[in-house]
Amino acid sequence: MKDRDSLNAKKPAACFLLFFAHGLVFSSWASRIPIIKNALSISEAELGNLLLLMPIGQLSTMVLAGKLISIYGSSWVIKRCFLLYPLFLLLISLSPSYWTLAAVLFFFGISGNLCNIAINTQAIEIESITKRTLLSSYHGAWCFAGLVGALVGLLMINLKVATFYHFACICIVAAIIWLYSAGNLTNIIHKAEPQTRSIFKSVNPTLLGLGGVGFLSMAIEGAMFDWSGVYFQTIVMAPENLVILGYTSFILMMTLGRFVGNRVIEKYGKRVVLQGCGLLMSGGLFLSVFFPNYGSAP
């Protein structure tokens, strides 16, 4: 591992802002899903297919992102790829048809995943240099950006600002953050060690169980990000200016969980917290399904 510029690690705020910008871009898209769905006359089934293209794009670049970071470093990827994410956000607002939107969302997923892996690698590099625990706070910044994005989306919708101008403002904010952060990043090259045996021969059953828990947790999280607006629109029958209320409630509590999570785990232990969170997630889903109204659904 080679550290070319460890002095830049004295500015972890740059990485914090990148997490914020990434979360702001994603939450801005999520806040407009119901409106884009109506504008293009997309059915629930078609929307499900569209939303599937984003994780497909993300998965398709997992190996590529790792290769680029191992060869050039996370800062190289951030400097050259980060602005693609808000750019594709803007292109979403310009998509005139279902198929155009499908193509844009696929590349939106690709660019978002490249940025996501790069900034998380950057965060770990900063932790290793500064000897400080920062990753949880960085993920908290992403969630806080999600809350800000939801509130901005709510404001834009109530002011009847067009999706294009909404997303254009987010692009400008992301570009400003990128301009500041690009000069304040670490530049560490990670040399990947060659794999000597099949990964399937070394899989621990406990790891598989944790992977299953993680998969289900991410499935619930994805459902909240992608479908809460549609749920409030079609099931709760909320007026257009309050459709984003469900997403806002979700991201607010997610932000709170990220910032207090470490203290709760230290006090009660990982097992208790994991079991308790599982009950809370399933309980919240059941509550929203059986009582679809303003009092319980948020």
pLDDT (average), residues 143-158: 88
CATH code for the structural domain at 7-193+206-290: 1.20.1250.20
Closest among 62, 119, 124 to 85, alpha carbons compared: 119
CB proximity list for 253: less than 8 A, separation 6 or greater:
none
Q: What is the pLDDT of residue 167?
A: 97
Of 293 and 193, which is predicted with more confidence? 293
3-class secondary structure, 34: helix
pLDDT in tens, 170-217: 999 999 999 999 888 887 765 555 555 555 556 677 777 777 777 777
Residue 214 and residue 35: Cα distance in Å, rounded?
30
pLDDT in tens, 70-96: 888 888 999 999 999 999 999 999 999
Which sequence spans correspond to the domains of the chain? 7-193+206-290
Q: What is the pLDDT of residue 119?
A: 93
Q: What is the pLDDT of residue 7?
A: 45
Least confident of 43-52, 185-194, 196-205, 242-251: 196-205
Closest among 207, 193, 221 to 284, alpha carbons compared: 221
CA distances from 201 to 191, 194, 196, 214 (A): 23, 16, 11, 21
pLDDT (average), residues 207-229: 73
Q: How many CA atoms lie within 13 A of 52 on its CB side?
A: 6
At 4, the pLDDT band (50, 70, 90 cuts) reads very low
- Mean pLDDT, rounded, of the chain: 82
- Which pTM was predicted? 0.77
Structure tokens at 101: 């939107």
pLDDT (average), residues 63-72: 86
Whether 29 and 92 have beta carbons less than 8 Å apart is answered as yes
Beta-bridge partners for 188: 3
